[in-house]
Amino acid sequence: MALVEAASPHTMNTYGRLPIALSHGQGVRVWDVNGKEYLDALAGIAVNTLGHNHPKLVPALQDQVAKIIHSCNYYHVPDQERLAATLVELAGLTNAFFCSTGLEANEAAIKLARKFGHDKGIARPEIVVYENAFHGRSIATLSATGNEKVQKGFEPLVEGFIRVPLNDMAALKRATEGNPNIVAVFFETIQGEGGINPMRIEYLRQVRQLCDERDWLLMIDEVQCGMGRTGKWFAHQWAGIKPDVMPLAKGLGSGVPVGAVLAGPRAADIFQPGNHGTTFGGNPLAMRAGVETIRIMQEEGLLDNAYRVGGHLKAALERELGGLEGVTDIRGQGLMLGVELARNCSALTARAAEAGLLISVTADNVVRLLPPLIMTELEADEVVARLVPLVKAFLAEGAPA
């Protein structure tokens, strides 16, 4: 008998949940309350950087819980300073603000951009955002998001966003031509929810240059693609550029909610006391999780691992699925990969779980893999062995009538 009811009578009906409840995990494997094992190729949506029950992370968090979980931002939190110093060094930026989630990090970025404008006399600042972007579900971040399904029912949207297509310099110039109110360009280096859509290296460099020429902030949402997932700390680093503002969250605390917005010299002093804040942000438990996550990633060489195992996984997917009728693209970098099919394949999420594999389908037709960064090549082979037959069977069914 199922231990989990399909309906949740007392939680709001915000998710179409699978009838599974996870009980515990070890490395890249998790078990549900019925004892069934799953290979975790989703990592709680790019969150469980170190997998589950990591032998170095768990004792550190236990130690922290026993000392102090939360103080508050009326006082100094030593690990805030430690995590900020580490992050800004890895990013080549200067200052950090801590919060708890991705949308909060993006809210902070939007506020920074608006105040950047106001500080130089622009009363109605506007921010360039992108088609198919995902920045969160608060009213401002859903307005920046490029997906009508996320926005529908919550209008009026926040004004001050101008939307352009990805990787199209001419479109960006056209959309901003002669507009003195532009203050920032805001995008994900690799769109996650939008379907694993990368910005091209050349485009990233051109936008950086345009932002310099026009005195706009370059704001890069690395909430999903950052924290080592592509094989560099932050995905935009493949282009050798630096943003002015960078929101982070998801993988930063390896499961403990931690968000941050990092800023470089042009944005670091915009916020002054009273301009921004949050109760939970930067609390001792969250900061310890961030500090330890990065320390363990460095000790265990997880950037190289993500790059190598991700390359291995992508090559295997290309070998097994590339060129099949109905597979339109295989893309992404490191351990952020997407297999795009020619039609809606949302059904694959449940079928994969049935077969002992946790994945997600995003943008309706992209199978998304975001495994923990500790995954080995052998485990990646297991992911392929479980996924490929499911995709092939799905393709063989053809489009439903």
The least distance separating ligand PLP from the CB of residue 47, rounded to whole angstroms, comes to: 9
Which range of residues in 101-109, 157-165, 288-296, 358-366 is near ligand PLP by CB under 6 A? Answer: 101-109
Interface of this chain with ligand PLP, residues 232 to 271, rule: CB under 6 A: 249-250
Candidates 224, 305, 362, 365; binder of ligand PLP (CB under 6 A) is 224
As to burial, measured by CB atoms within 10 angstroms (0-12 exposed, 13-18 middle, 19+ buried), residue 317 is: buried
- Indicate whether 230 belongs to the interface with ligand PLP (CB under 6 A): no
- Indicate whether 107 belongs to the interface with ligand PLP (CB under 6 A): no
CA 245-247-248 angle, to 5 degrees, is: 140
Greatest pairwise CA separation for the chain in angstroms? 65
Candidates 97, 134, 238, 271; binder of ligand PLP (CB under 6 A) is 134
Where would I find the beta strands (DSSP E) of 113-237? Answer: 126-130, 161-164, 182-188, 190-191, 197-198, 217-221
What number of helices (H) and strands (E) belong to the chain?
A: 12, 17
Compute the distance between CA of residue 62 and CA of residue 74 in angstroms, rounded to an integer: 24
Interface of this chain with ligand PLP, residues 40 to 99, rule: CB under 6 A: none
Candidates 28, 87, 93, 103; binder of ligand PLP (CB under 6 A) is 103
- Indicate whether 101 belongs to the interface with ligand PLP (CB under 6 A): yes
Q: Residue 51, Cα to own-chain centre: how many angstroms? A: 16
Bridge partners of residue 107, in order along the sequence: none
Q: Which CB atom, from 101 or from 305, has the smaller least distance to ligand PLP?
A: 101
Residue 346 C-beta-side C-alpha neighbours within 13 Å:
7
- Indicate whether 197 belongs to the interface with ligand PLP (CB under 6 A): no
For residue 151 the two structure tokens come to 């926005």
- Sign, Cα dihedral of 132, 134, 137, 140: negative
Q: Which CB atom, from 193 or from 292, has the smaller least distance to ligand PLP?
A: 193
- Residues touching ligand PLP, count (CB under 6 A): 15
Q: Which CB atom, from 134 or from 216, has the smaller least distance to ligand PLP?
A: 134
- Do residues 68 and 75 lie in contact, with contact meaning Cβ atoms separated by under 8 Å? no
Candidates 192, 195, 310, 334; binder of ligand PLP (CB under 6 A) is 192
Candidates 40, 126, 188, 340; binder of ligand PLP (CB under 6 A) is 188
Residue count of the chain, please give it.
Answer: 401
Q: Which CB atom, from 226 or from 310, has the smaller least distance to ligand PLP?
A: 226
Q: Which CB atom, from 176 or from 224, has the smaller least distance to ligand PLP?
A: 224
Chain residues binding ligand PLP by CB under 6 A are 101-103, 106, 134-136, 188, 192-193, 221, 223-224, 249-250
